[in-house]
């Protein structure tokens, strides 16, 4: 395993409430020296002003875009010729609540249909998609599962929560 | 359980390649009649033109914004008074590759530090954060884990991939 090459990828975000339901989130990718100003909001139905997409819309774009990016990056590396790529995504959750209780949400299933404009054989296209799935940071995180860590500020202290 | 109220939440996306590494992703939330035009790109280091944030920046904003949205929604429901909310996120992955092979990515850990401007007791703030974690669609998906389904188009057929 001495020849394995490892790269750490760290993103940092600072989110602040800036409207009734709007959040402005400054995202840094320190290793690349890149930063991005993003925002989420909710529509009037959920008490927001609709000034930005809801978090799940950003997530849908992130998941779809992550796989598409890996498909193109790995096509070059595996020397599999592709032209345009179209991916259709369907992400399904449900939430449920007992009367008077906060709701609890659950994933049902996420499905991505991939259409590659490519003269490559089905075998090669399957090999490419397989590599892209394994390279996709978000799919790998979802399939391996991960419990997010939390701390809550209490005065000058940070309490594990 | 007859009194449980269930709501299904479905987001759909169509992603298309529109630049060297850019993807334009049209996201629909059919139940709300809302749609959002989003995009991802990569910087020059990864062969892109830097015209949009990378997928992991959208994801960082989605995860941070999702928890923040639930904190505010549940604060009302639980009658816990809060003012401004600040969340600092740190998302860590790594990828590794054997020589000449495509890389495989792995999550290391995601941490969210939550600072609530609130006169509520620590117990109430902890209770609010706990409800927000259980309501947050993305945290719940991550903690339960989920294998994304894929199909690859082959002529007029769709092959499970």
DSSP letter for each residue of A62-96: HHHHHHHHHHHHHHHHHT-----EEEEEEEEEEEE
d(CA B120, CA A90): 39
Q: What is the mean pLDDT of residues B6-10?
A: 96
Report angle CA B79, A51, B53 to the nearest 5 degrees: 110
pLDDT digit string, tens, across residues B44-69: 988 999 999 999 999 999 999 999 99
Q: What is the mean pLDDT of residues A44-67?
A: 96
Chain B CB within 8 Å of residue A87 CB = yes
Per-residue tokens: A125: 């296209």
The residue to which tokens 């008077």 are assigned: A100
B106·A66 Cβ contact <8 A: no
Indicate yes or no: pTM above 0.90: yes
For every residue of chain B, which 3-state class applies, written as one string? CCCCEEEEEEEEEEEEECCCCCEEEEEEEHHHCEEEEEEECCCHHHCCCCCCCCHHHHHHHHHHHHHHHHHHHHHHHHCCCCCCEEEEEEEEEEEEECCCCCCEEEEEEEEEEEEECCCCCHHHHHHHHHHHHHHCHHHHHHHHCCCCEEEEEECCEEEEC
- For residue A59, what are the contacts with CB-CB under 8 A and spacing of at least 6? A91, B11, B58, B59, B62, B63, B66, B138
Flag whether pLDDT at B101 surpasses 90.
no
The residue to which tokens 């998302």 are assigned: B91
Angle between helical axes of B122-135 and B137-144 (0-180°, round to 10): 70
A137·B32 Cβ contact <8 A: no
Chain A CB within 8 Å of residue B81 CB = no
pLDDT category of residue B142 using cuts at 50, 70 and 90: very high
Q: What is the pLDDT of residue B2?
A: 56
B145·A150 Cβ contact <8 A: no
Residue of chain A nearest B77, judged by CA positions: A102
Q: Residue A20: which H helix or E strand, with range?
A: none
A56·B137 Cβ contact <8 A: yes
What's the distance, CA B160 to chain centroid?
25
Per-residue tokens: A78: 């595996």
Q: Residue A112: which H helix or E strand, with range?
A: strand A104-116
Residue of chain A nearest B44, judged by CA positions: A32
d(CA A73, CA A68): 9
pLDDT category of residue B100 using cuts at 50, 70 and 90: confident
Look at residues A89, A104, A94, A93 and name the one whose alpha carbon lies nearest to residue A139.
Answer: A89
Of chain B, the percentage scoring pLDDT greater than 70 comes to 99
pLDDT digit string, tens, across residues B114-132: 999 999 999 999 999 999 9
Q: What is the pLDDT of residue A1?
A: 52
Set of chain B residues whose Cβ sits within 8 Å of the Cβ of A84: 16-17
DSSP 8-state assignment for residue A120: S
Beta bridge partners of A59: none
Residue of chain B nearest A157, judged by CA positions: B115
Flag whether pLDDT at B71 surpasses 90.
yes
Q: What is the pLDDT of residue A2?
A: 56
Q: What is the mean pLDDT of residues A14-26?
A: 97
């Amino acid at each position: 395993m001495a020849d394995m090459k490892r790269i750490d990828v760290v993103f940092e975000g600072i989110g602040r409430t800036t409207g009734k339901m709007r959040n402005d989130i400054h995202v840094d990718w320190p290793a690349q020296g890149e930063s991005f100003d993003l925002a989420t909001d909710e529509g009037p139905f959920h008490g927001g002003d609709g000034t930005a997409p809801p978090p799940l819309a950003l997530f849908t774009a992130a998941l779809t875009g992550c796989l598409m990016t890996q498909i193109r990056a790995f096509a070059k590396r595996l020397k599999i010729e592709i032209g345009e790529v179209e991916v259709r995504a369907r992400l399904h959750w449900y939430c449920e609540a007992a009367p008077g209780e906060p709701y609890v949400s659950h994933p049902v299933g996420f499905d991505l249909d991939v259409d590659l404009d490519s003269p490559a054989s089905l075998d090669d296209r399957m090999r490419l998609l397989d590599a892209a799935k394994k390279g996709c940071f978000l799919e790998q995180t979802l399939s391996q599962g991960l419990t997010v860590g939390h701390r809550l500020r209490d005065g000058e202290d940070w309490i594990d929560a």
